Amino acid sequence: MFVAKLGAEKAWMLILAAKMIGLKNKVYIYGSKEKRRAQAVLMVRGVGPLKSKLIPSLFYTQFIHKHLPLMDWFENIEKNKKVPERYKIIPRLARSGFYKNRN
């Protein structure tokens, strides 16, 4: 699962990014019961949207200038035993150069 959080006042940024990438996921606004500000959250759960839409747009594009955090995320996917096997294709595709060839 990929989760992006921003302050609720910047929800439009998540909505715009999701539309540009072609995601059908909804941006949720969660209010706070405490004195913290509300948050806008975009959650991408499925393997299909992750590997075919989100990762290619993040891997070598303007959204992430340094792909080191993304590579750490891939490493965590591989090492974590709680991650379902179907998600482990994402790091394998990244290592094979699949996402480099798409841009």
The rounded distance, in Å, linking the Cα atoms of 67 and 94 is 11
Closest CA to 96 of 59, 44, 45, 53: 59
Chain centre distance of CA 42: 8
- pLDDT tens, position by position, 49-70: 988 888 887 765 655 555 567 7
Residue with tokens 């990929």: 2
Query: Hey, what are 49's tokens?
Result: 């949207």
Going residue by residue through the chain (103 aa), what tens digit of pLDDT does each one get?
A: 788 888 888 899 989 989 988 888 899 998 877 777 889 999 998 889 988 888 887 765 655 555 567 778 888 888 999 989 998 888 888 888 787 755 5
Alpha-carbon distance of 62 to 98, in angstroms, equals: 18
